[in-house]
Amino acid sequence: MKKIAKIVLATALAASLASAFAAEFQTRIIRFGYGLAEDSNQGHAVKAFAEDLAKRTGGKFKAKGFASASLGNDNQMQNALIGGAQEMTVVSTATLVGIDDSFGIYDLPFVFRTEQEADAILDGAFGKKLAAKLDAKGLVGLVYWENGFRNLTNSKRAITRLEDMQGVKLRVMQNPVYIDMFNGFGANAIPLAFSELFTALESKTVDGQENPVNTIQSSKFYEVQKYLTITKHVYSPWIVLVSKKWWDGLNADEKKAIQDAAVTSRDFERKDSREAGAKALDTLKQKGMQITVLSAKEAERLQDAARPAIAKFSANGHAELVKELQTELAKVRK
């Protein structure tokens, strides 16, 4: 019996080893473009992804990061993926509305209260279902990274109440929800690609912008912006995308390695983002920015002013999607 047991164990071990070595990986170069600087949360996470993927594939897959929109802005990189001219990118979900306007759901103001709520929705059935819609558009959505809660900066005046936004030329993403929201706040919303933003702020083409504090710091907006108001008006995710044309040419082992490395990078990026966010405010203060935390009363006024933008998105064919998100959030909050 002992002899039989040894044979069975040896056979099982051999089968396990054979399975491990059966994974097939061709040598591939992956161009991974992103919009922020190399020394940013995006840059750190792309590097983490590349290192993890190399380990999983025995060095066969080499992911090369291209920072600072060197391969184009978010929309241009999305189109490059669709056409098969680039393999991977990470972009704001807000820029996907031109491909599928359902992604505007993530741009609705004051939806998420905490990062943990956002994690549960994005990683759960709701987030996966929405990402799966991209397959038909030539993109594969792997995971969501964290951009974070968005806040306002400008060079004109401290914004402490709703009325202070009147007439401020504010750069927003090229997204109808953002345009409607900030016009509703009384600002002059100007849609502009992120890659053009610093120059626009420096030349006073726009007075201000809105982004998470990590991005404000890594993009050095403190050099051209005096005032920062903590509003947390929108929680903004990034999504890691793969060209479907390229993806369809991979075998099952290669796809699994990329997906698993993406999950590892997601967990790394969120931790990195949250730790950096805690330090960013101190850094921005040291760089001379005047920081205001919006009062609870004024935050409520912003929420009231944003309701028409939510109603408009819902009325434009998304009532069921909004209801579904609200249902999922209610489950998470229990």
Q: What is the pLDDT of residues 124-164, one digit of tens each?
A: 999 999 999 999 999 999 999 999 999 999 999 999 999 99
Per-residue confidence (pLDDT) for residue 278, from 0 to 100: 86
Q: pLDDT tens digit string along 221-241?
A: 999 999 999 999 999 999 999
On the question of a common fold for 28-146+236-280 and 151-234+286-333, the answer reads yes
> What is the greatest pairwise CA distance in the chain?
86
Per-residue confidence (pLDDT) for residue 12, from 0 to 100: 43
In the three-class reduction of DSSP (H, G, I as helix; E, B as strand; rest coil), residue 209 is classed as strand
Task: Show me where the domains of the chain are located.
Answer: 28-146+236-280, 151-234+286-333
Based on its alpha-carbon atoms, the radius of gyration of the chain, rounded to whole angstroms, reads 22
Reported residue count of the chain is 334
Q: Which CATH number fits domain 151-234+286-333: 3.40.50.300, 3.30.565.10, 1.10.10.10, 3.40.190.170?
A: 3.40.190.170
When pLDDT is averaged across residues 286-292 and rounded to a whole number, the result is 97
Q: pLDDT tens digit string along 57-108?
A: 999 999 999 999 999 999 999 999 999 999 999 999 999 999 999 999 999 9
**Sign of the torsion formed by the C-alpha atoms of 278, 279, 284 and 286:** positive
Structure tokens given for 230: 């903590």
Q: Supply the mean pLDDT for the chain.
A: 93
Confidence band, pLDDT 50/70/90 cuts, at residue 3: low
> What is the spatial distance between Cα 21 and Cα 243, in angstroms, rounded to a whole number?
27
CATH class of the domain whose range is 28-146+236-280:
alpha beta
> What is the spatial distance between Cα 248 and Cα 75, in angstroms, rounded to a whole number?
22
> What is the spatial distance between Cα 161 and Cα 199, in angstroms, rounded to a whole number?
27
State the pTM of this model.
0.89
When pLDDT is averaged across residues 32-40 and rounded to a whole number, the result is 94
